[in-house]
C-alpha cells in the first residue's frame, strides 16, 4: 500500500511540475500577436485577418494609426510583432537600428483620391481647379487631410496640393487628421466639403455610400511605397501572418481595395 501511495505521489508531483512549466508557455502561445498597421489598411487588413483565421485557425490583433507614430512607439519598445507601414523609409529606419528581423518587404503601393460627401459643392467639380474655385468663392470651408508631419498619406496630399499651387492658399481651410482614417472621417463630417484620403478607404462601403471621389494621378506626388517588417520579438503566428500577406487570398483583397501590388506596378 505504501508503495502504491508513493508511486501516486511521485506521479502527482511529476504532472504538477510539467503543468507548471508548460501552461505558461501554452498561455503565451495562445496570445494573438499585435500588428501595427497604417490606417489606410483598415478595411483591407480586417478582411485579410478574418481570412487568415479561417484558413489557419490563428488570430492576430490589429492596431491602426499613423506610420510615423508607430515607428516612434516601436523605437520606445512597444510590443508589436509586425509593422505594416505606409512609408517604406520608416521600416528602413527601424532596420538600421536593428529593431526588425530584416529590411522587410514591399507589400503595396497606395493611391490618393479627392473625396467629396454628398451635397458638397466640390462634388460637381472634383479637381484642382474645382478646389481653387470653391475656395475663391467661399464655398469651401474645410478640407480634410492626414497630418503630413507623421502620416505618409498626409504628405502625399500636401505634395499634390503643392503641385497645383494650392498648398499655401488652402492651409487655413485644412483640417488635419491624426492619421489617414481620421482624415477620412473628417472628410465626411457635416461641416466638411471633402478631403484627400487613401483610395483604399474611399472604396470601403461605408465611405462609398456617402460621397464620391476621383483618383488623383500618381505622378503628382511621391510614390506611396508601403513596406512591412517582422520585429525582433515576432512569434510563429506573426511569421505565418507575415507570409500570408503575400498569399493569393491576401493579394486579391488588397487589389480589391485599390492597392497596386509590387509585381504589378509599372
pLDDT tens digits, 145-198? 999 999 999 999 999 999 999 999 999 999 999 999 999 999 998 788 999 999
- Residues 81-134 pLDDT 10s: 999 999 999 999 999 999 999 999 999 999 999 999 999 999 999 999 999 999
User: How far apart are the C-alpha atoms of 133 and 85, rounded to whole Å?
Assistant: 35
Residues 104 and 230 in one domain: yes
| Dihedral, 69, 92, 216, 160 alpha carbons, nearest 10 | 70
The verdict on residue 191 lying in a domain is yes
Q: How many domains does the chain have?
A: 2
The yes-or-no verdict on residue 74 having pLDDT over 90 is yes
Residues 192 and 120 in one domain: yes
User: How far apart are the C-alpha atoms of 183 and 171, rounded to whole Å?
Assistant: 15
Mean pLDDT of the chain: 89
Model pTM score: 0.85
Residues 150 and 197 in one domain: yes
Residues 203 and 120 in one domain: yes
Query: What CATH number does the domain containing 240 carry?
Result: 3.40.190.10
**H runs (alpha helix) in 80-204:** 88-96, 128-136, 152-163, 167-170, 180-187, 199-202
Name the residue range of residue 79's domain.
31-109+226-264
Decide which of 31 and 73 is more confident.
Answer: 73
Q: What percent of the chain has pLDDT over 70?
A: 88
User: How far apart are the C-alpha atoms of 37 and 200, rounded to whole Å?
Assistant: 14
Q: How confident is the model at residue 263 (pLDDT cuts 50, 70, 90)?
A: confident
Residues 190 and 141 in one domain: yes
Amino acid at each position: 500500500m505504501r508503495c502504491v501511495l508513493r508511486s501516486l505521489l511521485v506521479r502527482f508531483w511529476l504532472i504538477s511540475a510539467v503543468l507548471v512549466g508548460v501552461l505558461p508557455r501554452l498561455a503565451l502561445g495562445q496570445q494573438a500577436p499585435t500588428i501595427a498597421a497604417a490606417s489606410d489598411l483598415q478595411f483591407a487588413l480586417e478582411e485579410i485577418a478574418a481570412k487568415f483565421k479561417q484558413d489557419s485557425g490563428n488570430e492576430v490583433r490589429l492596431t491602426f494609426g499613423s506610420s510615423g507614430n508607430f515607428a516612434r512607439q516601436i523605437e520606445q519598445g512597444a510590443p508589436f510583432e509586425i509593422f505594416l507601414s505606409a512609408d517604406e523609409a520608416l521600416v528602413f529606419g527601424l532596420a538600421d537600428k536593428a529593431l526588425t528581423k530584416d529590411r522587410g518587404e514591399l507589400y503595396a503601393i497606395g493611391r490618393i483620391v479627392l473625396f467629396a460627401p454628398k451635397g458638397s459643392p466640390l462634388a460637381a467639380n472634383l479637381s484642382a481647379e474645382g478646389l481653387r474655385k470653391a475656395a475663391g468663392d467661399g464655398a469651401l470651408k474645410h478640407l480634410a487631410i492626414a497630418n503630413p508631419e507623421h502620416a505618409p498619406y498626409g504628405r502625399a496630399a500636401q505634395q499634390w496640393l503643392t503641385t497645383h499651387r494650392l498648398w499655401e492658399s488652402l492651409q487655413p481651410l485644412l483640417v488635419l487628421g491624426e492619421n489617414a482614417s481620421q482624415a477620412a472621417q473628417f472628410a465626411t463630417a457635416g461641416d466638411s466639403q471633402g478631403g484627400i484620403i487613401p483610395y483604399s478607404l474611399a472604396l470601403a462601403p461605408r465611405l462609398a455610400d456617402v460621397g464620391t471621389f476621383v483618383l488623383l494621378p500618381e505622378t503628382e506626388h511621391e510614390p506611396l511605397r508601403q513596406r512591412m517588417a517582422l520585429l525582433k520579438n515576432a512569434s510563429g503566428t506573426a511569421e505565418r501572418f507575415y507570409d500570408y500577406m503575400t498569399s493569393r487570398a491576401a493579394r486579391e483583397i488588397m487589389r480589391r481595395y485599390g492597392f497596386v501590388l509590387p509585381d504589378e506596378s509599372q
